[in-house]
Structure 1
């Protein structure tokens, strides 16, 4: 019998049952035949795809969003891990049996499966409140759309799984065109936008709202406008409109202090549109980044409790990207640390944006902010500039980001002065790109910004020269996508074909 289709055929279902949203725990091996009977059952079912996002944001998305870009690298690699270095160094061949790529694929389709279960089952369940029924479905469709957005940007054409599949159906499933996947994402997000609430009660804080759906839709349109679909002006206009709707809602605002954005005591702030929820305490729901990003051989001078990974280390170019005295640098990264004991200066860069004191090992309280208002401001400004209109409005939103950054330290206008009008749209676009890089550093945006704006070739060629000491050589656009995992192809070679160049 053929090997099963990796995660497309997964039938393991897990749910959660506590009252507080961020405390919800999975319960495995539940009898699915006796489940999905009540509103409470469906509420628990919706929690399942939320919970599975943690497996993706823990590490997989960091590999493709940050390490693949010019932002970060590894300060320490165990043994001779080509699985790690080939994502970072373009001179190493990125093979289709890469374990990190396979994990991303499997965990993504697991999240999609869990979302599809909710979508498939919920209409048959009696609800006293039909709006609540539509809300639960909208949450599942948002989570499905978010996961597909990551998949299509990473792999290009991918299987479109829009329902629970039989084994026979799964073997008939090939890779859907990128355009079809984006249309599917947009359809899901429009449904979510129409059926999600503006806010949740305190116990449900962290569940997605209409602002999250609008914000992600703006980002999707922005991506569709650029490479590879190149929809251009029509989709820049759509991105502009959705971003403006978020801004016009009035419920989101930039927090006054940049540092507060990443304070574990101030999660789900007024700036946040959607965060992946984590909670430390030995329950398996804590976040690992403070420990993962610490220099491998550091001591308590960097993290007080737990492991140190040497993972996702800022590049020299990332360090230089910050302007002199930009307070976001010291809050986001460090170029060195002083040993304790020994008082020796170690010039090793590390991310400090996600600082917390671990409960044990790598168990921290940080959420992952997937969408926040600063991102929307910058997308809005860029959408205007790409359409060659309202440069004054775009400039005002770009400067709002700088004003917040300098006000975080009370440094006055001499630190990060406002941008003055630009001489051209191209110069303006590059300034927005730079501001996105330092404002959103280490938040998984950089690689996809470079791809959609067709700046990856220029930027990554320079970064690889700095990192490896010799030029990248001939550029191939195949490098913009990751390989389809070998196991997936082997499970269904008649239907699943490999990306070009792998």
Structure 2
């Protein structure tokens, strides 16, 4: 914790109040000197958007290591990475330890706690700053509380019990903090999110229409995710957790501010191609902001394999770092499901100028394909749509089914998502198929749709963790998914999952620095 305190007191990077992507280096100043003006308050909160959990979707160190959020996909065995870097390889073959993954573990742990330290300082000091209106004070505090909660949510999902630090660390006393149990951490996450929702005066419009600042809908979406995660393992909260998840999701739905993008008349005008190209839509709940001139989007570099590049691709170091395995591809029905067809969510061939189709043998993420970046500039500028409205509909469908049964409301939310993908199937057919299912059968249909619709949202291992069920498919029957117990199931390399793999180890470096820390079982 001393390291995090020193890092923050230096306040190495401050972000301007109008543009999170513009970095304004400052000389080192003390905390008391820094929190004096409204500009200081705004900068301290703006910095949270690009640190810790706010940087979870950025490349950790380089193209070769992928994005932090991708590691859970590699751990699931359902997503491949073509390179053999040690930090990726040990995750893919389940040989990760507190030592051989220490570099990445250190980066994640320190990055999140540094962001939490910043949030704690902002929450403590902003109320005393003169010149801020009450409304702006509450909004800034709500944003700081949101990011503190968001950081802890990432930590508790990935590491389980973690130290809960809620006050700024002053001096060297109390810097060694033991782990708090996961349920206590979750309760604090909920408290922060509820405070932000109830007291922040946050805008109700979607994130990109609010100048890419935290909105009420974003807070309630994360709150719904938190309750859904708590309802499952390891907390196994009461049924009320599902009811609370349903309530939070319904609040987003009933706000009337969000809607699914609809398909146009041709595949080229599909909703997925709108998502790929359009920056401002009512489907987007949380975007990671990029700008070609300041902080460019690296994702377009990942849309072709290195070994079979389309002619004219401008990236020299790009490759498909998030490669769906055959097992994952078979979760989709290739005939009915638009998402798996070429140049929708994914693509597997390109056409030359002469009209020749060149197969490259992989399903690469087409949702990240930015035409100008790939073929003209080599610099991406589109935002990453990290959380979208289908997530809310699927949370609502599952949570309602768990607490109220397979109601027409629950069926309708799941049908909304599936109907867009099965665009040549009448919606009434989908509704009829879902309406006659038992509770468990229906919930598993929701899990299947999460696998498909959220395939590029890095949710797969979160779902395995909370359900303790591992999805399997069959090449002879694509579109069908079976769920088996994850413990004892084998990944695509034939290595069986153990209980310990559901959490990451805590880095051996962190345990040496903080004698109060204990290691996760099995490591």
Query: Which band: TM-score by shorter chain?
Result: 0.7 to 0.9
Higher normalized contact order (CA 8 Å, seq sep 6+, divided by chain length): 1
How far, CA to CA, are the matches of 2:253 and 2:358 in structure 1?
Answer: 48
The Cα shift of 1:296 comes to 2.5
Q: Deviations over 1:316-367 (max 9, x none)?
A: 1111111123111232223455789997643133222211243999742233
CA drift of 1:15 comes to 1.4
Instruction: Please say if 1:328 is aligned against 2:339.
Output: yes
Q: Give the C-alpha shift of residue 74 in structure 1.
A: 0.9
- Are the equivalent residues in 2 in contact too, given 1:196–1:208 (CA < 8 A)? no
1:297 to 307, 329, 332: 307
* Residue of 380, 389, 395 corresponding to 1:379: 395
What is the CA distance between 1:422 and its match in structure 2?
A: 3.6
2:285 pairs with one of 273, 285, 294: 273
Distance 2:352 2:522 in 1: 45
- Residue in 2 aligned with 1:72? 79
Q: Is the 8 A contact 1:293 1:351 kept in 2?
A: yes
2:327 is matched with 317
What residue in structure 2 maps to residue 400 of structure 1?
416
Partner of 1:436: 450
Residue 203 and residue 439 in structure 1: after superposition, are their counterparts in 2 closer, same or farther (change >3 A)? closer
2:426 is aligned to 413
The offset of 1:295, in angstroms, is: 1.5
Partner of 1:149: 153
Alpha carbons of 1:45 and 1:128: their partners in 2 closer, same or farther (altered >3 Å)? Answer: closer
Flag the 1:184–1:376 CA change in 2: closer, same or farther, 3 A: same
Q: Say if 2:347 and 2:365, in contact at 8 Å, map to a contact too.
A: yes
Deviations 1:258-278 (A, max 9, x none): 3255334x2242012222222
Q: Distance in 2 between matches of 1:391 and 1:245?
A: 18
d(CA) in 2 for partners of 1:252, 1:150 = 25
Partner SS state of residue 143, structure 2:
helix
3-state SS in 2 of match to 1:58 = coil
Q: What is the aligned partner in structure 1 of residue 222 from structure 2?
A: 216
The answer to whether the 8 A contact 2:488-2:498 is kept is no
Verify the 8 A CA contact 1:16 1:26 in the aligned structure 2: yes
Is 1:498 equivalent to 2:519 in the alignment? yes
For the structure 1 residues 497 and 167, does the alpha-carbon distance in structure 2 shift closer, same or farther, using more than 3 Å as the test?
A: farther
| Equivalent position to 1:308, from 312, 318, 322 | 318
Q: 1:196 to 1:127 in 2, by over 3 A?
A: same
Q: Decide whether the 8 Å contact of 1:117 with 1:164 is kept in 2.
A: yes
What is the deviation of 1:29? 3.6
Q: Compute the TM-score of the two structures, normalised by the length of structure 1.
A: 0.87
Q: Over the residues paired in the alignment, what is the CA RMSD in angstroms?
A: 3.0
Match for residue 250 of structure 1 among 240, 256, 279: 256
Task: Report the Cα offset of residue 417 of structure 1.
Answer: 4.5
Runs of 4 or more above 6 Å deviation: 200-203, 338-343, 359-362
Provide the secondary structure at the position in 2 that maps to 1:263: helix
Map residues 93-492 of structure 1 onto 2, 5 A cutoff.
93-98=96-101, 99-194=103-198, 195-199=200-204, 205-257=211-263, 258-260=271-273, 262-264=275-277, 266-281=278-293, 283=294, 285-301=295-311, 303-325=313-335, 326-329=337-340, 330=342, 331-336=344-349, 345-356=359-370, 357-358=372-373, 363-407=379-423, 411=424, 413=426, 417-418=430-431, 419-456=433-470, 458=484, 464-465=490-491, 467-468=492-493, 470=494, 472-473=495-496, 475-492=497-514
**Matched positions, count:** 483
Which runs of 5 or more residues in structure 1 are unaligned? Answer: none
- 1:416-454 CA-to-partner distances (Å, cap 9, x unmatched) read 955432432221111110101111111011110111112
SS in 1 for 2:426: coil
Deviation at 1:406, TM superposition (A): 3.8
User: How far apart, CA to CA, are the structure 1 residues paired with 2:208 and 2:408?
Assistant: 39
Matched-pair contact (CA < 8 Å) for 1:5–1:488: no
Instruction: Tell me the distance in 1 between the aligned counterparts of 2:329 and 2:488.
Output: 15
For 2:299 and 2:357, locate their aligned partners in 1 and report how far apart those are by CA, in whole Å. Answer: 25
| Distance in structure 2 (CA, Å) of the matches to 1:203 and 1:213 | 15
Deviation string 1:254-308 (CA, Å, 9 cap, x unpaired) is 11143255334x2242012222222222x2x222122145323343449444531
Q: CA deviation at 1:136?
A: 0.4
Partner-residue secondary structure (3-state), 1:348: strand
- State the distance in 2 between where 1:252 and 1:393 align: 17
Question: 2: CA distance between counterparts of 1:105 and 1:328?
Answer: 35
- Give distance in 1, aligned partners of 2:113 and 2:93: 27
- CA–CA distance in structure 1, aligned partners of residues 300 and 461 of structure 2: 22
Q: Secondary structure at the match of 1:384?
A: helix
Matches of 1:45 and 1:346, distance apart in 2:
46
The 10-residue stretch of structure 1 (28-37 or 365-374) with the greater mean CA deviation from structure 2: 28-37
Q: Which region of structure 1 is more displaced relative to structure 2, 336-345 or 424-433?
A: 336-345
TM-score, structure 2 as length reference: 0.84
SS of aligned partner of 1:349: strand
| Alpha carbons of structure 1 residues 446 and 8: separation in structure 2 relative to 1, 3 Å | farther
